[in-house]
C-alpha cells in the first residue's frame, strides 16, 4: 500500500461537478493499493498516518499529529501511485490491484482510519474521474510505502 499524505489548509473532491468531500485543516491522503496488500498493511498505515507528527505546535515545530489537532482527513484512491516507469515512457500499472481486490481494501482502510481518529473521514469515488483541489500547507508532503517502511 502506498500513500501520499499532504498536510492541507483545505481540500475537496468533486465528481462531474458534484462536491463529494470537503475538509478544512487536516490531511489529504492519496492511497494506492496493490494485490499483495492485506489487513496488516491497513493497520500499520492507518496508525502511522493518524499519529504522524506533521502539524505545528505552539512553537511552530512539527510536533502534533492529526489526533492531537483533531483535524479532518480525505482518502482518495489513486492506482497511479503504483506506476512502473522502468521501461519506456508509458507507465505500467500492473502492480496496482484490480477493483475487485482494491475496493474492499480501500473501504477497510477508510473504516480503520475512522476508528483510529474517532471521527468520519471523507472519501472520493473509487474509479471515478475525480477533481481534487487542495491548498497544501507548508508544503508538507510525505510518501509512505507499507512494503518499504523507511
CA 131 to chain centre: 15
Which residue in 6, 39, 55, 79 is the catalytic one? 79
Q: What is the pLDDT of residues 108-148, one digit of tens each?
A: 999 999 999 999 999 999 989 999 999 999 999 999 999 99
Domain 2-145 has CATH 3.50.80.10: yes
**DSSP string across 83-131:** -B-SSSSS-B-TTBPPHHHHHHHHHHHHHHHHHHHTS--EE--TTS-EE
Task: Give me 107's grid cell.
Answer: 473501504
Task: Give me 42's grid cell.
Answer: 491497513
Q: What is the pLDDT of residues 88-115, one digit of tens each?
A: 899 999 899 999 999 999 999 999 999 9
Would you kindly state where each structural domain of the chain is located, as residue ranges? 2-145
> In angstroms, what CA-CA distances link 100 with 90, 105, 114?
24, 9, 22
Does residue 123 carry a catalytic annotation?
no
> Whole-prediction pTM value?
0.95
Instruction: Say how far apart CA 51 and CA 101 lie, in whole Å.
Output: 27
Does residue 79 carry a catalytic annotation?
yes
Does residue 78 carry a catalytic annotation?
yes
Instruction: Say how far apart CA 139 and CA 123 lie, in whole Å.
Output: 22
Which residue in 78, 109, 123, 146 is the catalytic one? 78
Average pLDDT of span 7-17: 97
Amino acid at each position: 500500500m502506498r500513500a501520499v499524505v499532504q498536510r492541507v489548509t483545505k481540500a475537496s473532491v468533486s465528481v462531474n461537478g458534484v462536491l463529494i468531500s470537503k475538509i478544512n485543516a487536516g490531511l489529504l491522503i492519496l492511497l494506492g493499493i496493490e494485490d499483495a496488500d492485506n489487513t496488516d498493511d491497513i493497520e500499520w498505515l492507518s496508525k502511522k498516518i493518524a499519529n504522524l507528527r506533521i502539524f505545528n505546535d505552539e512553537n511552530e515545530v512539527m510536533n502534533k499529529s492529526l489526533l492531537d489537532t483533531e483535524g479532518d482527513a480525505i482518502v482518495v484512491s489513486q492506482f497511479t501511485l503504483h506506476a512502473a516507469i522502468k521501461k519506456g515512457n508509458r507507465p505500467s500499472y500492473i502492480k496496482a490491484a484490480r477493483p475487485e481486490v482494491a475496493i474492499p481494501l480501500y473501504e477497510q482502510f477508510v473504516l480503520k482510519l475512522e476508528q483510529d481518529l474517532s471521527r468520519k473521514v471523507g472519501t472520493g469515488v473509487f474509479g471515478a474521474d475525480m477533481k481534487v483541489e487542495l491548498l497544501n500547507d507548508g508544503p508538507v508532503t510525505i510518501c509512505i510505502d507499507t512494503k518499504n517502511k523507511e
